[in-house]
Structure 1
Amino acid sequence: MSPDLSGPTKRPRDENFPVASLVLSREHRDAVLAFYAFARMADDIADAPDLAAAEKLARLDALEQALVSGDESIPQAARLHAVDRERRTGLTQARALLRAFRQDVVKTRYNDWAELLDYCRFSANPVGRFLLALHGERSSAHGPADALCTALQILNHLQDCGQDRDRMGRIYIPIRWMLAAGSETAFFDPSYAALRRDVLDAMLDRVDALIDQAQSLPAHLRNARLRAQSIATIALARRLSRRLRQADPVLERVQVSKADVGIAFLRGLRGTIRKPSSDDLRVTAAAVRRSGSSFRLGMQSLSPERRRAIHAVYAFCRAVDDIADGAAPASEKRTFLREWRRELDRLHRAPETPIGRELARASTLFKLPLDECHALLDGMETDSADRVRLADDYELGLYGRQVAGSVGALSIRIFGVPSAHGFALNLGRTLQLVNILRDVDEDAARERVYVPLSRLAQLGLRDAPAATLVADPRFARVCESLAEEARAGFAAADAALMRLDRRALKPAILMMENYRRVLDRLQARGWGLRQGRLRLSTADRLHLITRAMRPA
């Protein structure tokens, strides 16, 4: 049975990402094109609209037999067979791809993220493994190459989500994730753009984490040309991810532009001139830069080594907070947080992420207590629930200790003032109270209420949907009492600073002043009539910038 179709639906130049660009040497490029031609043929069989599933499977079986035997009646199979015979790579990876193509024939939905990653292990990662083996690269490149291939595959799935559903009945967005928008039908409904946006962004958060893991790939590669192609591919992946955040792939075709490709190609060429060092510190610095946090002002006042360490801590906090606040199902969030616990456990052996490696470095230099990182993860697990309520003041105190005190305890060691531990815990709790007061309505939209139920009960308020609770006039009275506690917390921090090294604690002081101003504005506005999240004025920010430029 011949597996041939009328012709390939795509050519290498039609792909988002470089398949066998001119950057690669001629001998390697020919082998890559042979691999691509075989994979393209198999993909076209799996996607053929006029073939029944049984016929597709039979043709894929015949294609695999031709590959193994080198059957010259199927040139694509014979050509790759010859590559494998000469270069000792290609056949194993192509057979792994065939497993994915067979899966495409019979499986059209994926339950969760783990199932999707398992699919990518066969549909995408073998491509990277083939390129590495072809160039004689070391096994240390396998992890970042797998991360890059998986990221590229999921980006393509998101890019083509509407097309895949309409033309082939396939959806690679996990079922549990689509339920966050109500249902599969709701997810693809043009009028549900806001809910769909939340799900897409949560998936892109995971993709960006994979791209971050891939960022170290060029540093592992000895072949300058392959290194250049990897740099270009990573740049294009980041660009497509950003474009998918800015546009809706259900409503329009989202793709990289020719200018994007040109810029990526130039970056790759620079990679042939010099071997890049690890980009781990750039990943953590970028996380801080994207956040727009006022804490950045304080970070800039630190020495380079301390600033690098605090960037690592902040990037870790940002990563786990994004998990907790994202639109992924609660069960998935817990899984992602467990992955971070495993990363913490291997921190001083072999961390697998850029943030992990930078955190390990900071931990060694500044003797960071990593149990504080686990405490933060405990708090993030609380936030990851579909519904959050705190029973009493004890639970409020514990939550504040986990999500804010832990960050303070880590930070003061980087600042070089471990004696300020008590100050850090008190300030952390105080800042968290301000966060709770500032984000009342935003949290309620996520069905979160951090004001203890015991305090509400004292005013006759029983647990109810979050929107109902925060709209009740009695809720404002509890906010007033929490605001007074926060005010007292700032006063206690002021007193503690009289005995501490203010210069070393300048970043914490700037953060404290930022939050004190937020509390001032919240109290001036009042607790009954809230109109969205309060933001500091330009004058407030200029005041903080001026303070940041002065000695503490």
Structure 2
Amino acid sequence: MSTLAREPTKTPKTENFPVASLVLSPDRREAVLAFYAFVRMADDIADAADLRAAEKLTRLEALEQALLTGDPRVPEAARLHKVDGRHRAGMAQAREMLRAFRQDAIKARYNDWADLVDYCRRSANPAGRFLLKLHGECASAEAPADALCTALQILNHLQDCRQDHERLGRIYIPLQWMMLGGGERAFFTPAQASARRMVLDAMLDRVDELIHRARALPERLQNKRLRAQSTATVALAERLSQRLRRSDPASERVEIGKADAALAFLTGLWGFVRKPGNGDARITAAAVRRSGSSFRLGMRSLSHERRRAIHAVYAFCRAVDDIADGAAPVSEKIRALRDWRREVDRLHRAPETPIGRELARASSLFKLPLDECHALLDGLEVDCAERVRLKSDYDLQLYGRRVAGSVGTLSVHIFGTPKARSFALDLGRTLQLVNILRDVDEDAARERVYIPLSRLAQLGVQDAPAAVLVADPRFARVCEALAEEARAGFAAADEALTRLDRAALKPAILMMENYRRVLDRLIARGWGTRQGRLRLTAADKLLLLTRAMRPA
């Protein structure tokens, strides 16, 4: 049995995240250290580059037997065996993690996101479950704890991707995702940094969603000490995700700095002193801030409850739109959107995400037509395709109704003007036309063309690669016609507003004026000499800000 012992590759102090911080009570801390020592020993066996798979499996089996019997010849196993006898926690969770380590010994690739998350359920989540059981926490803390542990594990995988690949021949980035960057070899080629960045960011989007779910953990914990540690851990996870977005873990080591750790420690101490309140609203508000959308100006004119509700709607739209526009495989995007469909369906029962809980609150207060959320998801499934083409004006109308009309309909309920539904639908179509005209080249780079093929065919233009279509001089003529339709749409909106409550609709009016200004700039620039995406000038934004600050 002595052959099981290996020099530990890490200690609690050298781990990325708090293992058994000093804020834990001495008794619980000793139990956590025992659990860590056993798991570290098993993990080092699974990661030993000098051992064959068969030898790893043999040693892991022996280690499990030592745990079950409390064999004193393996002190790490005997110590955890005693912990389990005293606290009724440790053995079951460690055995579950041993299953993951056995998997590491024989499996070096993961096909998709679900495959990776399934591995994390065994390799990471049991550690969180152990801490919860050790401290006698309730079942409501399990879901956010699982989300945090999965997020931490995937962050570690991304952080160590080069080392795992070079030393162990192991890759935790899903194969389907790497194929989008040219495959496994291309992913680790220094010159492929741009394609690799797209894949890494798409994975970090999923990780950030898990971290958002995990932010509910501290408020669900009764033990102040565990709450402090979990608060610090969530803060460090957010920081590492940010660092991984700014750096390339395939070419350099990305780590959390001492300043990050110190700040997280102070954040944890605050969690010890005071139980945190509901953080869901902060998450949706942060999504709005990050967006930089001019719609934020209009939101500020709303009362607190209406502003909180529109933040929820916006955060939902941003989350699902990011899925459709991300670098994940089509099948993964569709699966993620279907997860959101399930979240919408359970809003009035038990939503599982911060955005879902805020959306449920908004729906209860303002009687939101939640079928509009499904309409938006229907539209975004179109965007998920590897190649997007709209055949006819009907398809364009339907697409605009789904991705823009749905948002407008939800918004007017929050503004307190549900009778403005027709205005919202018509304006939504107009704004979507401006979006399509503004983003022609950006969409073409994604092989997306939203100009109906039927309109192009009338001018003798047949379907072709997106870059060929948008470069055709006749394409510009169709853009000119759509721009005139958008201009007419704004005129119709102006007329409709004479019969509506302009003060209540101020956020929509500001959004409309923003898009009208974009359209004017597009028309002035012309369609034959496009130079990338048009953006408003500082003067334009100042004008919008001035309008936002004065009464409607």
SS of 2:529's partner is: coil
Unaligned runs of 5+ in 2: none
SS of 2:219's partner is: helix
Contact 1:448/1:466 (<8 A) preserved: yes
Cα distance in 2 for partners of 1:179, 1:441 equals 24
Question: In the TM superposition, what whole-angstrom CA distance separates every residue of 1:161-200 from its partner, at most 9, and x where no partner exists?
Answer: 0110000000000000001101111111110111111110
Aligned to 1:404: 404
> Is residue 86 of structure 2 the alignment partner of residue 86 of structure 1?
yes
Contact 1:37/1:76 (<8 A) preserved: yes
> Per-residue deviation at 1:276?
0.8
Cα distance in 2 for partners of 1:410, 1:55 equals 60
Aligned to 1:97: 97
SS of 1:181's partner is: coil
SS of 2:10's partner is: coil
Aligned to 2:179: 179
Aligned to 1:442: 442
Cα distance in 2 for partners of 1:62, 1:298 equals 64
Cα distance in 2 for partners of 1:78, 1:538 equals 68
Aligned to 1:344: 344
Aligned to 1:300: 300
Aligned to 2:239: 239
Contact 1:427/1:490 (<8 A) preserved: yes
Cα distance in 2 for partners of 1:116, 1:70 equals 32
Matches within 5 A, 1:33-432: 33-432=33-432
> Per-residue deviation at 1:2?
4.0
SS of 1:282's partner is: helix
Unaligned runs of 5+ in 1: none
Question: In the TM superposition, what whole-angstrom CA distance separates every residue of 1:79-117 from its partner, at most 9, and x where no partner exists?
Answer: 000000000000000000000000000000000000000
Q: Amino acid of the residue matched to residue 154 of structure 2?
A: I
Cα distance in 1 for partners of 2:326, 2:16 equals 27
Aligned to 2:510: 510
Cα distance in 2 for partners of 1:442, 1:205 equals 21
Aligned to 2:433: 433
Q: Amino acid of the residue matched to residue 539 of structure 2?
A: A
Contact 2:211/2:238 (<8 A) preserved: yes
Root mean square deviation, CA, Å: 0.6
> Per-residue deviation at 1:5?
3.3
Q: Amino acid of the residue matched to residue 231 of structure 2?
A: I
SS of 1:499's partner is: coil
Cα distance in 2 for partners of 1:494, 1:379 equals 27
> Per-residue deviation at 1:300?
0.6
Equivalent pairs, count: 552
Contact 1:3/1:45 (<8 A) preserved: no
SS of 2:546's partner is: helix
Q: Amino acid of the residue matched to residue 303 of structure 2?
A: S
Q: Amino acid of the residue matched to residue 90 of structure 1?
A: G
Cα distance in 2 for partners of 1:138, 1:3 equals 40
Cα distance in 1 for partners of 2:300, 2:72 equals 64
Moved over 6 A (4+): none
Q: Amino acid of the residue matched to residue 185 of structure 1?
A: R
Contact 1:2/1:59 (<8 A) preserved: no
Aligned to 1:463: 463
Cα distance in 2 for partners of 1:380, 1:282 equals 26
Query: TM-score, with normalisation over the residues of structure 2?
Result: 1.00
> Per-residue deviation at 1:274?
1.0
Change (3 A) 1:167 1:470: same
> Per-residue deviation at 1:6?
3.3
Contact 2:6/2:41 (<8 A) preserved: no
Contact 2:6/2:44 (<8 A) preserved: no
Cα distance in 1 for partners of 2:50, 2:501 equals 75
Query: TM-score, with normalisation over the residues of structure 1?
Result: 1.00
Contact 1:417/1:505 (<8 A) preserved: yes
Aligned to 1:523: 523
Identity %: 76
> Per-residue deviation at 1:3?
4.6
Q: Amino acid of the residue matched to residue 56 of structure 1?
A: K
Change (3 A) 1:3 1:145: farther
Q: Amino acid of the residue matched to residue 525 of structure 2?
A: R
> Per-residue deviation at 1:532?
1.0
Q: Amino acid of the residue matched to residue 415 of structure 1?
A: F
